[in-house]
Amino acid sequence: MAIENNNVVALNYKLHTVEADGEKAFVEETTTENPLTFLYGTGMMLPKFEENIAELNIGDKTSFTLEPNDAYGEKDDRAIAQLPADMFNETGLPPVGEVLPLQDNQGNQFRAVVVEVTPEAVIADLNHPMAGKTLNFDVEILAVRPATEEELAHGHAHGIDGESGH
What does the pLDDT profile of the chain (166 residues) look like in tens digits? 899 999 999 999 999 999 999 999 999 999 999 999 999 999 999 999 999 999 999 999 999 999 999 999 999 999 999 999 999 999 999 999 999 998 888 888 888 999 999 999 999 999 998 999 999 999 999 999 999 999 999 998 998 876 665 5
How far is the C-alpha of 5 from the C-alpha of 125, rounded, in Å? 35
**How far apart (Å, rounded) are the C-alpha atoms in residues 2 and 60?**
10
Residues 141 and 63 in one domain: yes
- Pair (17, 66) in one structural domain: yes
pLDDT of residue 161: 75
With CA atoms as reference, report the closest residue to 98 among 78, 112, 82, 84.
112
CATH code (residue 88): 2.40.10.330
Cα separation, 75 vs 26, whole angstroms: 20
SS3 70: helix
In a domain, 2, yes or no: no
Q: Do both 90 and 104 map to the same domain?
A: yes
pLDDT at 164: 66
DSSP state of 34: B
Q: Determine how β-strand 24-29 pairs with β-strand 36-39.
A: unpaired
DSSP 65: E
Q: What is the DSSP string of 108-128?
A: -EEEEEEEEE-SSEEEEE-S-
Domain tally, the chain: 2
- Tell me the sheet residues that pair with 146: 7
Backbone angles phi, psi at 96, to 5 degrees: -60, 135
pTM of the model: 0.82
Q: Are residues 106 and 137 in the same domain?
A: no
pLDDT at site 165: 58
The answer to whether the CB of 62 falls within 8 A of the CB of 53 is yes
Containing structural domain, residue 104 = 77-125
